[in-house]
Copies of this chain bind each other. A is one copy, B any other.
Amino acid sequence: MTKADRTRLRIIEASLPLFLEKGYNGTSMRELMSASGVKAGNFYFHFDSKKALALAVMDEAEEIFFDVMNAACEAEGLSPAQKLGAMMGALAALIEARDCAGGCLFANFALEMSDADEDLRERTAAFFERWRLMIEKLVRDARREGELPSNIDSSGFSEYIIMALEGGIMLSRLKKDAAPLKFAFSTLRDHIFSLKEKPTLQDG
């Protein structure tokens, strides 16, 4: 890693918690510069706008997120439905480890910026689509192995998992308490494991 690469990474790593807790509009370039400890000329060499920095921070946050999700699924001997459960549990643990502060960067940006900036909206939507595809693969695997009913809408149901978890992260952040997210996780898990036995439920 070159010195310039290290500086760039330092700016990104210092900016992530600020964007996470204070939002896009609530964070100024001055604060981001100060948090990174990088002088203005060098800072602007790497990021000439808050938007460019936010996009780079989303790239970094996305990699961290999928590293955690993939690690949870790679534990040995898990069935596809168990991998779904492990992934949801890892997410709850990740949020709880931060005492629920900040919540999810992508949901925050989705709600704050999706009517205001089309580039940020598209970048945020791409994150959720990548996550949905990861979950959909597990849903399809579970369906093939008989853990989920053969007629389940794998695309819609994978998005439903994301919706319930993101709503849980929102309420947990608001209440500064991991309990809502954990309840969403356990209810979703029970729901998934119950579907196998009630294959007609997703017909409607």
Contact = CB atoms under 8 A, between A and B. Distances in A.
Interface of A: 21-23, 25-26, 101-103, 107-108, 110-116, 121, 124-125, 128, 153, 156-157, 159-160, 162-168, 170-171, 173-176, 180, 183-184, 186-187, 190-191, 194, 197-198, 201-202, 204
Nearest to A26: B25
Given A108-B111, A111-B108, A173-B111, A22 B116 contact: yes
Classify the secondary structure of A's interface with B.
Answer: helix
Contacts of A108: 111-112
Pairs A-B, 7 closest by C-beta atoms? A163-B167, A167-B167, A25-B25, A166-B167, A110-B174, A164-B164, A21-B115
A175 B22 contact: no
Contact of A112 (B26, B115, B163): B26
